[in-house]
Structure 1
Amino acid sequence: MTAPAVPSFFFEEWSRRGPGDRRSLRRAALLAGALGVAEPGTPVLTVVGSKGKGTAATYASAWLVAAGCRVVTVTSPGLRGDVERVRVDGAAVSAGELAGLGRRLRQASRSLPREHDGYLSPSGLFTLAGLLHARDVGADAVVLEAGMGGVSDEAGLFPPSVLAITEVFGEHLGVLGDTPAEIAADKAGIAATTTSAVVSLPQTPAVAATIAATVAAAGAGHVETIGIARTADLPGAAGIDEPAGWGGADPSGNASPVGLTGPDTLPADLLPHGLNRPNAALGCAAARRLLDAMGRPAPDGARLAGVLASVRLPGRTSWHTIPGATVLIDSAIGRAGAAAAVREAHRRWDRIDHVLVCLPDHKDIPGVLAELRGLPVTFVRMPDRESLRFTRTQATIDAADLTPGRLAALGGRILVLGTVYFTGRVLDLVDAPTERLFDA
C-alpha cells in the first residue's frame, strides 16, 4: 500500500535550497506567531537525544493517554508516510487533515520575510502543524520529538514543561558539535525556567556534566537520571534484562532510582526488550513528571497496563510476516543496536538466513559488520536520499528495487537493519500496520 501524498508545502522551501543554505529558526518562530502557536498554551513534553527518541515519545504519549489526557504527538520522520508525523492519542492524522494544516501554514507563511533568511525545514513545519492541530482538537498535552538537535531545532522554540533526554553520543559530530559533550549542550539547551523536570538516561561523565551545567544555567528543574525499574519498583520484575552500566545515579553521583509504576496490580512486562527498553522507561518517567506538573492524578493501574501492553513500535525490533518469510526490522545504526537485533532474532529463530543492511558511509558500518560476521549480508543503497552517501559496492541492491518477492527469495528468516528512512520503506513493503501505535 502506498502512503498518501503529503502537501508539497512541507517540503517546498527545502527542495529549493542551495549549497550552504540553512534552516531559518527565525522565520519558523515568525510563522509560529502568525499561526498563533508561539505560546502553545498546552504543556509540552520534549524528547531529545541521539537515538531512541521515537520510542520515548511513544511511551510518554501512551502513559499520558492512560491518565485520561488528549495527546498530540509529533515525531520525525514518519514510518510509512508523513501523515504519521502528527498523531492524536497514538493515531495518525488523516491525509485530509494534514492537507488542511498544510494549506493554513502556506497561507500564514505569506507574511514572512523572503527565503534568503533561510528555508523553512520540513521537520519544523510538521512541528508547527502538530501544535496547530493540538489547538484545534483541544489537546491536554503535546509530546514533541526533536529532530536532529535541540536549540538548533524548531522544537527548541517551544520551552518544555518536561524535558526527556535519551542517550547522547557522537551522532552528527561536526554538525551539532565537535564532541558528544557539545552535542549534549545543544540538546539540553531546550530547557528553560518553565521546565519543571529534566529526566535523562545515564550518560558518559562528560555528557552528564554538560547536561547538568546547561540545565542549571537555564534555571530549569534539576536533572534526574533514571534506570529501568528494578524488582522493588516493578512487582514481579526480577530477571528483567537491564543494560549493563545502569546505576540510576544523577550526574552528581547521587543514587536516585525511579520506580515506573504505582499500583501493585501492574504486570511486570510492560516495557519492550533490548535497547528499546531504557527509552521506553524514560518516556514513562517523563510522562509521570508532566502529570505532576499539570496537577493531574496518575493513571489507574489496570488502565495503564492495558494501554502500555498495546504499544507497537514498527521498525524498532518489530516482527512481520510475508508470503514465504518472516522479517525482523530494526533501525539499528551502530554496533550495539546490531548486536541487540541479532540477540532478539535468536530469541525466536535457530538461524538467520540473510541480513539486509542500509547504512550511509558516516554510520558505524565496521561495528555493525562485526556483529554480523558469518552471516550472509546484502547492502542496500538509497540513491534518492541525496544527503546520504552509500559508496559500498559489494553485494548491493537499490532500495527502490526491493519487492516482497525479492525479500522472500533471500530466505525464510530475514533481518533488516539500517536508517529509519530505509526501515520505513521495508515497513511499507511488508504492509505493516503503522496508523496506530497504541490502543487508546
Structure 2
Amino acid sequence: MIEQEVTKAIEWIFESYTRVPPAKRVGFDRDVRHPEWTRWLLDAVGRPDESAYNVAVTGSKGKGAHAILLAAILQAAGLRVGLFTSPHLVDFLERLRVNGMAVSNEDFVRLAKGVRETTKEIPLPADQYLGPVGLVAVMASIWFREQKTDVNVFELGRGAMYDDVNRVRHQGALVTPIFAEHLDKLGPEWSDVVREKLGVVTEDTTWTVSYEQDAVVERMMEEYFSTRHQTWRLLGRDFTYEVVCGTGGVCSVQVTSAKGETLRASMGVNLAPFAGNVAVALTAAGQVLKSLDMGGQTLDVSLAHLAFPGRLQVISKRPTCLVDGTIHAVNARFVVDWLLRAKPSGKVTAVLSLPDDKDALGVVETLAPHVDGMVFTTCSNPHLRYTRDLVALAKEHVQSVQWEPDVEVAVQRAQASAKPEDTILFLGTQSFVGDVLRIFEVPTKSLWHAHQIAGREPHWFGN
C-alpha cells in the first residue's frame, strides 16, 4: 500500500543520520554538521533550486508563521508558490506544499526514490551523515520545479550558516526575532547565535527583511550589513504598520515604508495578534514582486481564508478549544490578546506541554491572571524531556493546577470536564500541537479553508 511506501521513505530520510554514532552528532553545528552534501545533491539532480525565485526564513521565533504568511500573500497576489516548512504538525507530508496543498503520497514516494538513487553516488565519509531536512529540501526543490512554481519559501532550522536548507540558493531572506537559544548548538554566546542566523545572507541573497530585534541583535545586524551591498529593511526603522479591525470579524494590516510604499492585507480577526508577522511578510512579498518586475509598491491582498494550522486556531466549539504553539512569554501574550478579544463567559483552562528547554515561567506568569486553572502534560515526541516540577511553579500563580503525564488523557479529560460555555487553551511545543490536532482530527493537508484558493491577479491600490 502507498502508506507503507511513505513510511519506508520517511525511514530512509533518517537512515544516514541514525547510522552515525550519537557522539559524532553532538556538539556545535559548525563542528558536526556538513550541509555541503545537500548542495552536492542539489547539483547532482540538476540544480532544481535555480528554477524559481527562492526566499529563506530564519530566526528564533515564528519562522513557520512567517513562512506560511509570506507564501499565502504571494499566492493571493497571483503567483504559484512552493512552501517548505519543518517540522510538521500531523502528517510528515505537510512539509512540502504548493499553493497551500501538501504533496501527494505518490509524489512523495517517487521523489524519495529518485533522490535515494542519487545519494548512492555521494562520496560520504563514514563519520558524516546526510541531514534529514536537507534530503527533504532537495525533494521539495525537485517537486517545485516539476510544479512550475514562480516563488518558493524555505523555512530553515535552528541555524542558518550550517543549516542544510540554507544551501538552497535564495535571492531573498526573512529574519524573525533572534533570541539567545540553542546555545549548545549555535553558541556558546548569544553573539554566536546571531552570527549563525545571519548566515542566511549568502552571495546569492540581494535583500533581507527583518522583524524588530533586541538592541544587541540590531547592533550586530547593523555591523553585518555595513560591509555588504544587499538591501536590509527592519521593522520599526524602515517600515511601520497599523491594524484596523472592523465589524464582521475582519481586520486589516497596512504597512507604510519610509519611502512611502503602502502594502495591505485583510484577514480574519484570529490573525490580529500576528499583525507584526503579517507586516514583515507583506514587506518581504513586496521585495519579491519588485524583484520579479511585478510592482509590489501598493499590494492589497486577502488572507481571509487562511487556516493557519496550530496558531491561535479554534478547533472546536462548545466548549471553545483553541490550540497554539505557545512556548514562551511572547507567544503567551498573543493568547492573552485573543482572550481579551473573545471575552469567554465560562471558565478558562490551559492545558500546557512545556519541555525543559521552553520558557515555562514566562508562559505561566503571562497566562495566570487570565485563566482559572492549568493542566500540565507531555507529548508524543520521545526526544523531549519533562523533568521540571511545573505544578509547584504554577501553584505560586494559579490556585487550580494538575499534572497528567499522558497527553491523550490530558486532552480528553479537559474536554470532557468542560461546560459548553467554557474555554480550553491547548498550548505548548509543536509536537503537542500536532497531538491535539490529531486527537481532534483537524485536517492539515491544506493551509486554506475550503481547500486552496486559486492564484489570482493581484489588486493594486488605484486600480
Write the mapping of 1:344-423 to structure 2, written as runs, cut at 5 A.
344-348=338-342, 349-373=344-368, 375-382=372-379, 384-386=381-383, 388-392=384-388, 394=391, 395-399=402-406, 401-402=408-409, 405-411=412-418, 412-423=422-433
Q: Distance in 2 between matches of 1:277 and 1:164?
A: 16
**Does residue 19 in structure 1 map to residue 35 in structure 2?**
no
SS in structure 1 at match of 2:82: strand
SS in structure 2 at match of 1:45: strand
1:291 to 264, 289, 299: 289
For 1:153-200, what per-residue CA distance to the aligned partner results, in whole angstroms no more than 9, with x for missing partners? Answer: 112213421111111112222321234332122112121333221111
In the alignment, structure 2 segments of 5+ residues that lack a partner are 26-32, 392-401, 455-463
Write the mapping of 1:112-191 to structure 2, written as runs, cut at 5 A.
112-114=122-124, 116-191=126-201
2:103 to 93, 96, 105: 93
**In 2 relative to 1, CA 236–413 (structure 1 residues): closer, same or farther, beyond 3 Å?**
closer
User: Contact (CA 8 Å) 1:51, 1:166: kept in 2 or not?
Assistant: yes
**C-alpha displacement of 1:60:** 1.2
User: Contact (CA 8 Å) 1:43, 1:160: kept in 2 or not?
Assistant: yes
The corresponding residue for 1:201 is 211
Q: Distance in 1 between matches of 2:272 and 2:305?
A: 14
User: Contact (CA 8 Å) 2:252, 2:266: kept in 1 or not?
Assistant: no
**In 2 relative to 1, CA 220–396 (structure 1 residues): closer, same or farther, beyond 3 Å?**
farther
Output the amino acid matched with 1:18.
P
**C-alpha displacement of 1:402:** 3.7
Q: Distance in 2 between matches of 1:299 and 1:68?
A: 15
Single out whichever of 57-66 and 405-414 deviates more from structure 2: 405-414
Single out whichever of 278-287 and 110-119 deviates more from structure 2: 110-119
Output the amino acid matched with 1:209.
R
**C-alpha displacement of 1:147:** 1.1
User: Contact (CA 8 Å) 1:197, 1:220: kept in 2 or not?
Assistant: no
**In 2 relative to 1, CA 66–25 (structure 1 residues): closer, same or farther, beyond 3 Å?**
same
Q: Distance in 1 between matches of 2:119 and 2:107?
A: 18
User: Contact (CA 8 Å) 1:163, 1:199: kept in 2 or not?
Assistant: yes
2:276 to 256, 275, 278: 278
Q: Distance in 1 between matches of 2:432 and 2:271?
A: 22
SS in structure 2 at match of 1:356: strand
1:337 to 331, 334, 358: 331
User: Contact (CA 8 Å) 2:354, 2:386: kept in 1 or not?
Assistant: yes
SS in structure 2 at match of 1:285: helix
User: Contact (CA 8 Å) 1:53, 1:279: kept in 2 or not?
Assistant: no
**C-alpha displacement of 1:337:** 1.3
Output the amino acid matched with 1:380.
T
User: Contact (CA 8 Å) 1:55, 1:283: kept in 2 or not?
Assistant: no
User: Contact (CA 8 Å) 1:168, 1:207: kept in 2 or not?
Assistant: yes
Q: Distance in 1 between matches of 2:269 and 2:217?
A: 29
Output the amino acid matched with 2:281.
G
For 1:78-124, what per-residue CA distance to the aligned partner results, in whole angstroms no more than 9, with x for missing partners? Answer: 12111110000111111221111111121111111245342222222
Single out whichever of 344-353 and 124-133 deviates more from structure 2: 344-353
For 1:228-262, what per-residue CA distance to the aligned partner results, in whole angstroms no more than 9, with x for missing partners? Answer: 7545xx8889xx9999xxx999xxxxx6786323x
Q: Which has the higher strand share?
A: 2
Output the amino acid matched with 1:88.
V
SS in structure 1 at match of 2:184: coil
Output the amino acid matched with 2:375.
T
The number of residue pairs the alignment matches comes to 415
**In 2 relative to 1, CA 242–135 (structure 1 residues): closer, same or farther, beyond 3 Å?**
closer
The corresponding residue for 1:212 is 222
Q: Distance in 2 between matches of 1:90 and 1:222?
A: 28
Q: Distance in 2 between matches of 1:106 and 1:92?
A: 21
User: Contact (CA 8 Å) 2:262, 2:298: kept in 1 or not?
Assistant: no
**In 2 relative to 1, CA 267–193 (structure 1 residues): closer, same or farther, beyond 3 Å?**
same
Q: Which has the higher helix share?
A: 2
1:316 to 304, 311, 315: 311
In the alignment, structure 1 segments of 5+ residues that lack a partner are 250-254
